[in-house]
Structure 1
Amino acid sequence: MLSSFEFLILFLASFRLTRLIVNDTITSFIRKPFHEIVEEQLPDGSMQTFLKVKGTGLKYWIGELLSCYWCTGIWSSAFLYIGYLVWSSIFTPIIFILAIAGCAALVEVVVERLS
């Protein structure tokens, strides 16, 4: 059973890892083989961009997974939790770094909204 502190740390780490995989520019190279950004001109002349998942079969499935925050969140959480249980000495520093970054991201959102 996890303590409240362990749960909080894993929660924050999972939040940050999921955002890193699904949204952050620095990891776009992971998504690039599975996603295409398509631009479409609207009737009013403005441009709209949207994400199109590439391929079929496994490639499409991975593309869908990488475009779904909720789906990736489950796998990120499972990866971190199992890693923490099985290889604690390796995963603990990674989890703490992600948790600290997750806290920083949440604080940044609050500061931006208050500004």
Structure 2
Amino acid sequence: MKITLLNLLILSLASFRLTRLLVFDKITEFLRDPFFNEIKEENEDGEIEVYYLPKERGVKKFLGELLSCYWCTGIWASAGIVGISLLYPIVSYPIILILAVAGIASILESIVQYFIEK
């Protein structure tokens, strides 16, 4: 498969969106839960703040640390996106395209929210 600039852009956007999905989005919280301890603390204003710390040892610690690092998860998400696109191009293309479009949408939403808050 020849990687054109357009293919690189689509793969990049799909990797970006998949990484955000794994690290931050509420819909995949169930995937992260086994690898984190939830810590609740009351702040100075009396509000409860929730922190997530990776488990203390073993594979759960490793995966918790991986999932708490956007850059680390991004490498593996990118490897998965590129790998699946090379191994199964016809089957994976719709999934990758959906992730890429969602990536563009999330970038645009961030820009809109930035200007609304200003």
Shift of 1:58: 1.1
Q: How does 1:72-111 map to 2 (within 5 A)?
A: 72-111=73-112
- Preserved CA contact (<8 Å) 1:35 1:53: yes
In 2, Cα distance between the equivalents of 1:114 and 1:41?
A: 31
In 1, Cα distance between the equivalents of 2:34 and 2:13?
A: 28
Quickly say closer, same or farther: Cα 1:42–1:107, change in 2 above 3 A. closer
The percent identity for this pair of structures is: 46
Deviations 1:17-50 (A, max 9, x none): 0000000000000001111220123567554432
Please say which of residues 83-92 and 33-42 is displaced more in the overlay: 33-42
Q: How does 1:1-115 map to 2 (within 5 A)?
A: 1-42=2-43, 45-115=46-116
What TM-score do you get using the length of structure 2 for normalisation?
Answer: 0.89
In 2, Cα distance between the equivalents of 1:83 and 1:22?
A: 20
In 1, Cα distance between the equivalents of 2:7 and 2:45?
A: 51
SS at match of 2:16: helix
Gap runs ≥5 in structure 1: none
